[in-house]
Chains A and B, each alone.
Chain A
């Protein structure tokens, strides 16, 4: 396992920067520059690097899609949110030679925001390609075909030219997929969801989104601690604040940054990546969540430090 790339990091539905959002960033950058001139592009880049992420960048707005670079020729992807479209374009551009490409796609669940990218996935239209979609839900294939039926969409699933396959996985069982050990865990979410643990070449990555932790059952927490055990990276549903997740949004099927820190600390994981951002949060608000999460990790740390980051569209984490 070499790296993880994030193509879509929002929860529930895609969002986009507004004119007001862009202007606010420009104003903040110009205020920071304070009339300064830049002698070179490199100097300008250094200045931009010194600005807060919420000013110089954006967390982006595509819904869930994460690529795992295993170092092998096959592609590994978690979820087919709207981020699958730019991922597909990137994968097509990385095509080498005349041979087909193989995509192993692991579905957390079948809610709209996690499947909406498939109709726009360019490699699925390429003859000779193979797209294998894995999941724990019995209705995996039916749900994906249904979203491309009239009146919801004009292009039928049968138009795909790639070989489309579906594989149902059983929780708790180890699978070998193109040399990567894969295990899934059933999670608490409306209609169920599945988290995935990928292990390869001494590295372990966990993808656990759309997963609520009820906090009343130590055995439930223990199950996730075991699943996250010693992971190099845990991609974690941190959609809500803890206060919301245990009150007004209890039973909505999502978790918080705080629970992410606690489970990762208990599991001895090395890196927590906050994921599935609440769509109403702007860049500054997510920056704030990240800063507070890092502080929480610092003041509650008992073992080795846990690195904490917040996923954004375009982020690449080397393993």
Chain B
């Protein structure tokens, strides 16, 4: 059964006067546990300003994931800069150091292309959907996800 106790790390940045700055500088991360997988779902754009907040919020996720799996559901991420990619690379190496795994999934088209241009599909484990990512982690994680997805039985 999925642990649906919500964990939310919300951060925000001040608006930038810089031309071309992302419209959203806030990165919000909600997390859920599915068996041995901790799923975190950041929302927003991860740019030079918000990347340090993203890194800070991710640190507690890494600790919670331990030697299990941390799945980053990027379906809500509309942009990632070099600073954000750096955070992901560091997170992956930290997970490896603690015998855990980092999986990223559900990339939007722009973010997927940013990954491709930077060869991050080779650096990180990237899966098309959350179900694919959880299947990659373990049968138990996928089963917990499907169970939670079906929701409680009608009275």
Contact = CB atoms under 8 A, between A and B. Distances in A.
Contact of A241 (B20, B51, B89, B118): B118
B49 A218 contact: yes
Interface string A278-291: 00000000000000
B91 to A, nearest CB: 12
A101 interface: no
Contacts of B119: 241, 243
B114 A300 contact: yes
Contacts of B117: 258, 292, 295-296
Contacts of A259: 82
A266 B48 CA distance: 10
B18 A300 contact: no
A242 interface: yes
B120 to A, nearest CB: 7
18 contacts: A218-B49, A221-B83, A241-B118, A243-B118, A243-B119, A243-B123, A246-B85, A247-B89, A256-B82, A266-B16, A266-B19, A266-B21, A268-B19, A295-B113, A296-B113, A300-B110, A302-B20, A303-B19
Interface of B: 16, 18-23, 47-49, 51-52, 79, 81-83, 85-86, 89, 110, 113-114, 117-120, 123
Given A241-B119, A246-B86, A262 B113 contact: no
Contacts of A222: 18
B19 A215 contact: no
Interface string A240-251: 011100110000
Contacts of A299: 110, 113-114
A262 B16 CA distance: 14
Given A259-B82, A265-B19, A215 B48 contact: yes
B22 to A, nearest CB: 7
A226 to B, nearest CB: 9
Contacts of B81: 262
Nearest to B119: A243
Q: Which of A217, A218, A225, A262 gathers most chain B CB within 10 Å?
A: A218
A267 interface: yes
Interface string A4-15: 000000000000
Contacts of A243: 89, 118-120, 123
A263 to B, nearest CB: 9
Contacts of A213: 82
A292 B117 CA distance: 6
A175 to B, nearest CB: 26
A142 interface: no
B94 to A, nearest CB: 13
A265 B52 contact: no
Contacts of A37: none
A302 to B, nearest CB: 5
A258 B110 CA distance: 14
Contacts of B118: 241-243, 258
Contact of A242 (B22, B48, B82): B82
A20 interface: no
Nearest to B16: A266
Nearest to B48: A221
